[in-house]
Chains A and B, each alone.
Chain A
Amino acid sequence: MTYDDYLAGEPVIVTAALTGGVHGKEANPNLPESPDEIGRAAAAAEAAGAAVVHVHAREPNGERSFATERFQAVDDAIREHADDVVIQHSTGGTAAPDDVRHQPLRTDPPPEMASLDMGPLNRYDHLTSENTRALVDSLLAEMRERGVKPELEVFNDGHLNEVHGLLERADVADPPYATLIFGGGTLTPPRPENLLHAIRNLPEGATFNTLGFGRHQLPFATLGILLGGHVRVGLEDNVYYRRGELAESNAQLVQRVVDVAETLGRPVATPDQAREILGL
């Protein structure tokens, strides 16, 4: 995927990361946590132009849950409220045991997509999300078994090596789909040239998604649109609309990036177009 894809007017897939598992309503009261809130947020994001929703599950008190039952409740609510949006489950989870990390894949039906973290990520001062290669392989194996498309989450450039290695040792359905993530800490530094380098280092034929944390969300989404990639926005990654102003909703963040894409002349993919592009 390149600038030529932008010039050719290839559709851009907008993913809305609705809730996440790190922060909650204590960070932004508009962040959805309950299944019903997430379902309604998914519908609003879809109406604004999102083709994919990336979801985590929560306990009633807002705390993280990896349980199949909680993901099932979220999916049921999304299907009740939204039209035809693609559901993508997170399999991420700092310190959660490996068997727990598999549980989001076991809903009925399984999600069309699921995230697959390609390696470690530091959290706070004393924690690391390990994401060992053995766990990556076992999650991918279950995704293949259940027909789930992996979204390869690349936290830094070293994880691009892991993507190449994964494709050499495992069978990943075409096209490989990698989310390139930019921000602080263990993430790739949020500099435009680093996005260009990451794109150059992707495997042949790979499709990419662009994710900037915090205030980098809008500029990196814009860069992703211009460079022929896809984009992810949402309250999981950024709770502000602009400096000092909390976002009103996921849909508001989706609408803004849809407006950018349309202003730049790139059409926004429908869920069916996203399925075709991603080979779902």
Chain B
Amino acid sequence: MTCPFLEYRSASGDRSFDVARAYCTAASAFVQPMRADICNDRYDLQHDRDCEIYREHADEATAGKAAGGAEEPTVDADEDA
């Protein structure tokens, strides 16, 4: 599963992009491309093990799921080949 805090957005505040990019709703910021690998649990990465931002907000993620929050990102990322 991908990180429950991951969304793909084309704009936020005064930042906009032609192609939707990984956005961390816990940190309220676009994420670095390498961090997007963690968000998407690519390769041997796991957001709940490797991402300090997720670990700091894990309780909120659990509460969001219990309240019926989305588990999947709004837009899927392209997978690295």
**Smallest beta-carbon distance B61→chain A, Å:** 17
A70 within 8 A of B: yes
Which of B8, B33, B51 lies in contact with A24, CB distance below 8 A?
B33
A62 lies within 8 A of B80 (CB): no
A63 within 8 A of B: yes
Q: Beyond A95-B45, A96-B43, A127-B50, is A62–B34 a contact (Cβ under 8 Å)?
A: no
Contact residues, B36-73 vs A (CB, 8 A): 36-38, 42-45, 49-52
- For chain A, the count of residues having a C-beta within 8 Å of the partner chain is 30
Which of A22, A23, A63, A97 lies in contact with B43, CB distance below 8 A?
A97
List the interface of chain B (C-beta within 8 A of A). 8, 15, 17, 19-22, 29-38, 42-45, 49-52, 77-78, 80-81
Name A19's closest neighbour in chain B (CB-CB): B33
Q: Cα distance A242–B22 when bound, in Å? A: 28
A59 lies within 8 A of B32 (CB): no
Which of A70, A94, A126 lies in contact with B34, CB distance below 8 A?
A94
Query: Inside 8 A of A125's CB, which chain B residues have their CB?
Result: 52
B32 lies within 8 A of A22 (CB): yes
Which of B34, B49, B77 lies in contact with A61, CB distance below 8 A?
B77
Q: Cα distance A100–B17 when bound, in Å? A: 28
Q: Cα distance A147–B69 when bound, in Å? A: 53
Q: Cα distance A126–B38 when bound, in Å? A: 11
Name A22's closest neighbour in chain B (CB-CB): B34
Q: Cα distance A53–B27 when bound, in Å? A: 33
A158 within 8 A of B: no
A67 lies within 8 A of B81 (CB): yes
Which of B33, B38, B49 lies in contact with A21, CB distance below 8 A?
B33
Q: List 10 A-B contacts (CB under 8 A).
A: A21-B33, A22-B32, A24-B32, A25-B21, A61-B77, A62-B17, A63-B33, A95-B45, A123-B34, A126-B51
Q: Beyond A26-B29, A61-B21, A97-B43, is A21–B80 a contact (Cβ under 8 Å)?
A: no
B80 lies within 8 A of A26 (CB): no
A59 lies within 8 A of B34 (CB): no
B32 lies within 8 A of A61 (CB): no
Query: Inside 8 A of B80's CB, which chain A residues have their CB?
Result: 59, 63-67, 96, 100
A22 lies within 8 A of B33 (CB): yes
